[in-house]
Chains A and B, each alone.
Chain A
Amino acid sequence: MQDAAIAVNGLTKRFPGVSAVDGLSFAVRAGEIFGLVGPDGAGKTTTLRILAGILAPDAGTANIAGTDVIRLPERAKHALSYMPQRFGLYEDLTVEENIRFYSDLFGVKRAEREARGTELLRAAGMLEFRKRLAANLSGGMKQKLGLVCALIHRPKVILLDEPTTGVDPVSRRDFWRILYELLAEGVAILTSTAYLDEAERCHRVALLHQGRMLFCDTPANLKTRMRKNVVSVASTNPRLIRMHLERAQGISSLVMSGDGVHIVVDDAATRIPQFTAQLTAEGVAFESIVQVPPTIEDLFVDAVESKGAARG
């Protein structure tokens, strides 16, 4: 891709005993939010660190805004912003001082800092907390401050490592709103997330597992690409449902959710009557059993489990 803001090719990083990232390739356009999804240990953080120029890969290439971040990390750093998974700002400095520190490091002019800082703080709903020490902010506020500091110098590429983990729903909404507004400025955003519902807010997602990419597509395409069907059984006791249906025919995976069980099956039309009959016969109560559109979570769990099954 010629106009890619982030271009990754054959990226590989091995740690003693494991391949954290294994031949990863993808590209992110300007104005796009790209999500890296996967469980812990999938290689999301390692990928982001390599792209941020703070970790050297063993093989592969990576370009950030046209600069080879592996050969010229210091030049690439002018164009990017990286927010580590762990809060990376100074807790003994105030909100304002943290913003000032990061904008000074990037050589942002005072007037620009004032204007941009105010605008970002307002969007984050944090204008009144300017003088507060970062240590005294809530988890959500800290993450939003991290984002403000990351955006103060108008980077072309933004790398976010699980930015909304442990963040309250209100702050999460603010966070995503700010991200969407940035897209209009032509920014490319690469974010990792453990929340699959959040992945659906991305333009495209890549599913990572053990350092390899399982799929990479838009959330909608991924869902249609899934040939299997998803059956949702609503129940007040999902555990019981799982116990009874676990060994039923035609199931490739089964995930419990708050209000029931999501079952990935080969064909919903034949399995729904079959499950209904079995549960009724075994005297297990349930509220409803219907076919639902697959979520990324269903897709992911199914992909990982069928891989595991193929290997095992």
Chain B
Amino acid sequence: MNWMRMLVMAKKEVMQILRDSRSLMIVIVMPAILVLLFGYGVNLDQKRIPVYVWNQDGSQQSLDLVWRFKASEYFRVAAEVDNEKALARALDNGDARIAIVIPWNFDHRLQTGGRVAVQALVDATDDNTANLAMGYAQAVVQSYSANVQVAWMNQRGLAMQAAPVSVDTRTWYNEDLESSAFIIPGVLALVMSVIGAFLTSLTIAREWERGTMEQLISTPVSALEIMFGKLIPYFVLGMGDTVVAALIAIYWFHVPFRGSFGTLLASSAMFLVVVLSLGFFISVIAKSQFAASQIALLVTFLPAFLLSGFLFAIEQMPKPLQVMTHILPARYYVSVLKKIFLKGTPALMLYADLIPLAVFSVVLALLATRSFHKRLM
């Protein structure tokens, strides 16, 4: 290993990155775009679900109930209509995710001490939103119902508390129950998959495709010097992007950061070695830029997106998928990220994630060094 030649390779690689506007865009813009996209765009909290109301009754009591829907932060009363057709159309074209029908005898039945049912029509194409909407609607109606009950009994001289038993909830780690706090730390894993695997997967393949590799391997530069020379610039860029993404998360989205920055950098470095090695390995075997980039996305980006616990909790996946996640380095990195950001878990208690991550980085780095030879066949 000749350090001078490795630096010569690295310098050449940097010049090429700086002149390639596509790579440069990915390096500079991608981290910010991904963090902003997931910070603003992906919101698992359902707030202000559009609701249509058909109030057949029109009494003071029924208006009270409608007002409760209006006051709830989970609903937005998009329109009040007076026929079933309008309701059906709103659900069809997505103007409403849920429709509430208050029957014409609502007030009368309540006054006479009878039971009355309020109808809820739910668009269940997105079952997650449908479940939430039904739950929220039930909560609104139940609390209204309890009030009506208390008022009714009080009228008749029977003293009654509003609700005898209640749950007093404290949410830890993500006090405001913001899904962005849960999602954004994991975006760092996506950023690195793009910078690390996607960009490096192009480097070796590009040299084969453009015919520059044939001349390069006829010089005394060694396979290791080529590999390190090519990966070091991306390592530096990847670490830079990690810091940028972390800063946006902390200062723009106010995601709590309770762990140590040192642990963040160390675990990021390990994950970066994993994705860089994978990208390099893919680049060596693929030999065409297109094939390499497709494989890289398939092997790193998609699993990091779907199976790492970044968006979807691993515990809720089917058992076989849960088992599969253990061979995904991204799983351990995302877990570390969430713990560092939200819980502030000290490095020593992260061994269950850090040890597999370290093993993966060593194994894959060795695989990458073994894969590349200065030979044509």
Q: How far is the CA of A49 from the CA of B375 in the complex (A)?
A: 10
Q: For the complex, is A90 an interface residue (Cβ under 8 Å from B)?
A: yes
Residue of chain B at shortest CB distance from A101 = B12
Q: How far is the CA of A93 from the CA of B217 in the complex (A)?
A: 18
Q: For the complex, is B216 an interface residue (Cβ under 8 Å from A)?
A: yes
Q: For the complex, is A195 an interface residue (Cβ under 8 Å from B)?
A: no
Q: How far is the CA of A106 from the CA of B4 in the complex (A)?
A: 10
Q: For the complex, is A259 an interface residue (Cβ under 8 Å from B)?
A: no
Q: How far is the CA of A56 from the CA of B377 in the complex (A)?
A: 8
Q: Which of A82, A91, A97 is in CB contact (< 8 Å) with B218?
A: A82
Known A-B contacts A54-B376, A78-B220, A105-B220; the reply to A93 vs B214 at CB < 8 A is no
Known A-B contacts A54-B374, A55-B376, A101-B8; the reply to A88 vs B222 at CB < 8 A is no
Set of chain A residues within 8 Å of B221, measured between Cβ atoms:
105
Residue of chain B at shortest CB distance from A86 = B211
Query: Count the B residues whose beta carbon is within 8 Å of the partner chain — how many?
Result: 24
Q: How far is the CA of A254 from the CA of B16 in the complex (A)?
A: 52
Chain B stretch 189-241: residues in CB contact (< 8 A) with chain A:
210-212, 214-222
Set of chain A residues within 8 Å of B68, measured between Cβ atoms:
none
Task: Map CB proximity to A onto B343-377 as digits: 1 under 8 Å, 0 otherwise.
Answer: 00000000000000000000000000000001111
Q: Is there an interface contact between B20 and A77, defined as CB atoms closer than 8 Å?
A: no
**Which bracket fits the contact residues of A?**
20 to 34
Q: Is there an interface contact between B212 and A90, defined as CB atoms closer than 8 Å?
A: yes
Q: How far is the CA of A88 from the CA of B208 in the complex (A)?
A: 10
Most buried by A among B5, B217, B374: B217
Q: How far is the CA of A102 from the CA of B12 in the complex (A)?
A: 10
Known A-B contacts A105-B219, A106-B219; the reply to A84 vs B16 at CB < 8 A is no
Q: For the complex, is B15 an interface residue (Cβ under 8 Å from A)?
A: yes
A106 CB to nearest B CB, Å: 7
Q: Which of A78, A88, A93, A102 is in CB contact (< 8 Å) with B16?
A: A93
Q: Is there an interface contact between A93 and B12, defined as CB atoms closer than 8 Å?
A: yes
Q: For the complex, is B170 an interface residue (Cβ under 8 Å from A)?
A: no
Q: Is there an interface contact between A107 and B375, defined as CB atoms closer than 8 Å?
A: no
Q: For the complex, is B115 an interface residue (Cβ under 8 Å from A)?
A: no
Q: For the complex, is B19 an interface residue (Cβ under 8 Å from A)?
A: yes
Q: Which of A54, A55, A78, A105 is in CB contact (< 8 Å) with B8?
A: A105
Residue of chain A at shortest CB distance from B213 = A88
Q: Is there an interface contact between A87 and B211, defined as CB atoms closer than 8 Å?
A: yes
Known A-B contacts A92-B20, A97-B15; the reply to A74 vs B220 at CB < 8 A is yes
Q: Is there an interface contact between B8 and A104, defined as CB atoms closer than 8 Å?
A: yes
A292 CB to nearest B CB, Å: 40
Q: How far is the CA of A49 from the CA of B377 in the complex (A)?
A: 11
Set of chain A residues within 8 Å of B4, measured between Cβ atoms:
104, 107
Chain A stretch 82-138: residues in CB contact (< 8 A) with chain B:
82-84, 86-93, 97, 101-102, 104-107
Q: For the complex, is A52 an interface residue (Cβ under 8 Å from B)?
A: yes
Q: For the complex, is A53 an interface residue (Cβ under 8 Å from B)?
A: yes
Residue of chain B at shortest CB distance from A146 = B215
Q: How far is the CA of A106 from the CA of B221 in the complex (A)?
A: 8
Known A-B contacts A55-B376, A55-B377, A105-B221; the reply to A88 vs B215 at CB < 8 A is yes
Residue of chain B at shortest CB distance from A51 = B218
A7 CB to nearest B CB, Å: 19
Footprint of B on A, CB under 8 Å? 49, 52-56, 73-74, 77-78, 80-84, 86-93, 97, 101-102, 104-107, 146
Q: A54-B218, A101-B8 are in contact. List 6 more A-B contacts (CB 8 A).
A: A54-B375, A77-B219, A82-B215, A87-B211, A91-B210, A92-B20
